[in-house]
Chains A and B, each alone.
Chain A
Amino acid sequence: MTNENKNVPEKDKPDGSYTVFHGALVKKKVLSRRAFSFVSPGFLWSLIFLVIPCLALFAVSFASRGDYGQIEWNFSIDNMKRLAGFGYFGWSADNLLIVWRSIVVAVVTTFLCVVLSYPLAFFLVSRPDKSRTVWLTLLLIPFWTNLVIRTYAWFLALAPNMPLAKLLAEVGAIEPGTALYPSTFAVYIGMVSMFLPFVALPLYTAVEKMDWALVEAARDLYSGGWRVFRHAILPQTMPGLSVGITLTLVPAMGMFVVPDMLGGSRYMLIGNLIQQQFGTSRDWPFGAALSLVLMFLTLSALMASRRHELKKKEA
């Protein structure tokens, strides 16, 4: 505890055990007891169901799977080795490939979302006030619609008898009567439509606050489109952009519903692999090790964006 109210001289206080807290004279002890009683229920809850489980995850990743799917507590790094590809039948790149694919899918999805969100944000700010609320609501509805329903909706929209598949079959891009999934295309279209609002909403907030005089100045000085964007728009919208990127990159890396439904069994991402370990394979230690990898990837993404922000502040 510290004395928050600095402008009360020390001698005016009756004794060191008292402090002035928002105009009330209270005993420090009482104040801290009060603070603890407010914080502790939520804090303990998070400790028991969040922090300790995460530590348990760490511990379990060094155990191994027993014959019946139970956890055997023999300290080993077999799971890490297996992740790196050293299995019973020699080295294979399968697991590493899945991790790599997860990173690629997350990065490409984020990139596509950013590319589509900029026009969308400009479009939204250029709407008159009244219709802007309507457009924003239209953006919020998919944002709040259940993930499973939205993925399922794509499952339906890309089905063989639907206009899109028929059109593509007509052109000869796919076999007539086949669906557009499982495919990379289906995964990306699902992922992008899933995460686009996560980028578009913070970006819209940033674009709304933008100082357009700078854009005009850049135009006056004969900057082309790209240079206007790079030097006048990008720096101003950076805060919103970095929030959007973080909000997309982190969950996209752990996503398993979209690849599961639209990518088929061959399009495994790390999320699917984790789900498999906790589902059919019942290999919790390996699943825990995979989760740690995912956590590591997430933290590095977060650190990168944090560092970027700090650099910005210094500059």
Chain B
Amino acid sequence: MRRGNSTGITMTSVGVFILFYIPLLCVAMFSFNANKFGLTWGGFTFDWYAKMFHNEVIMKAAWNTLLLAVVSTLLSTVLGTMLAIGMYRFPWKKKTMGKLDMLLHLPVVTPDIIFAVALVIAFSAIRHFTGLFELGMPSMIVGHVTFQISFVALVVRGRLEMIGHDVEEAAYDLYADHKRVLFKILLPLLKPGIMAGAMLAFTLSLDDFVISFFTAGPKSTTLPLFIYSALKRGVTPEIHALSTIIMILTIVLVLAMQKFTAKNGGEMH
């Protein structure tokens, strides 16, 4: 029964994959199209890729995207890991724990637009009182870190549950002090979880559009924002080339994550 599938199931599934990949393949195909205007085929060319790499605006946006992802990932990995250890390695009261847990899950279940809008208001209030925090890279980093923390903490929590308390208890029995247990036992054991959390945070940052869209300033355009605004202005083949490169990077990232989880036997979701 289990192996035998009806043709209906197979056909639907293949249909779904076609639904996923046909549009993406269209983009990839047109990135090699020599015709600049319209969507008719005019021969094969690599010109758009060359042009794209010489386009200063695109390169700046790529740099911004990377900067945003790296900085926010570093910050959120530290904060998220600390939060996970603090929450799940200390005997909190049940009530406090419930509240902390709710706070942790809040960004995961709130639609990102609400979250982005709330941040915009908060930033404007901070700007009003302190004159700091013009919308731009810092505000985007803050926005990204805020939702990444939760995901990092949840992944690290999974790892904490997996490793259990035994090794730590043994270390305490042998008169290791708190610092030693943390740096020599807990953190090395947590490393795969922390890495997985960081990778997830990085991908989430690259993937984000809504929060960047609301919190970006005029000079901090990222690639998704650039593509979105380019669509409003009219599409150029450079956009196809850019999208294709981002898709390839995504595929590489997905494969890397899969390899990583397979090696460490952890869950990513």
**A and B: partners?**
yes
Binding site for B on A (CB under 8 A): 1-4, 21-24, 26, 31-32, 34-43, 45-54, 56-57, 60, 116, 119-120, 122-126, 133, 137-142, 144-150, 152-157, 159-162, 189, 192-193, 196, 200-202, 212, 215-216, 219, 246, 250-251, 253-254, 256-257, 261, 271, 274-275, 278, 284, 287-288, 291, 294-295, 298, 302
Q: Taking the complex as formed, is B264 at the interface, i.e. its CB lies under 8 A from any CB of chain A?
A: no
- Given A22-B172, A120-B12, does the pair A41, B82 have CB atoms closer than 8 Å? yes
CA distance A254 to B258 in the complex (A): 30
In the complex formed, the residue of A with least CB distance to B253 is: A144
**Is the beta-carbon distance between B112 and A254 smaller than 8 angstroms?**
yes
Chain A binding site: helix, strand, loop or mixed by DSSP?
helix
Which among B20, B92, B246 has the greatest number of chain A C-beta atoms within 10 A? B20
Q: Taking the complex as formed, is B146 at the interface, i.e. its CB lies under 8 A from any CB of chain A?
A: yes
**Is the beta-carbon distance between B90 and A34 smaller than 8 angstroms?**
yes
In the complex formed, the residue of B with least CB distance to A125 is: B2
In the complex formed, the residue of A with least CB distance to B169 is: A23
**Is the beta-carbon distance between A43 and B146 smaller than 8 angstroms?**
no
* Nearest CB of A to B153, in Å: 7
Question: Which of these, B27, B82, B85, B118, contacts A149 with CB under 8 Å?
Answer: B27
**Is the beta-carbon distance between B122 and A56 smaller than 8 angstroms?**
yes
**Is the beta-carbon distance between B27 and A38 smaller than 8 angstroms?**
no
**Is the beta-carbon distance between A298 and B111 smaller than 8 angstroms?**
yes
Question: Which of these, A35, A45, A123, A145, contacts B149 with CB under 8 Å?
Answer: A45
In the complex formed, the residue of A with least CB distance to B90 is: A35
In the complex formed, the residue of B with least CB distance to A140 is: B254
**Is the beta-carbon distance between A119 and B8 smaller than 8 angstroms?**
yes
CA distance A160 to B87 in the complex (A): 55
Q: List 28 A-B contacts (CB under 8 A).
A: A26-B178, A38-B89, A38-B90, A39-B100, A40-B86, A42-B79, A42-B153, A45-B79, A46-B146, A49-B122, A52-B122, A122-B5, A123-B13, A137-B255, A140-B254, A141-B254, A144-B203, A157-B22, A215-B1, A254-B111, A271-B113, A274-B117, A288-B121, A291-B113, A291-B117, A291-B118, A295-B114, A298-B111
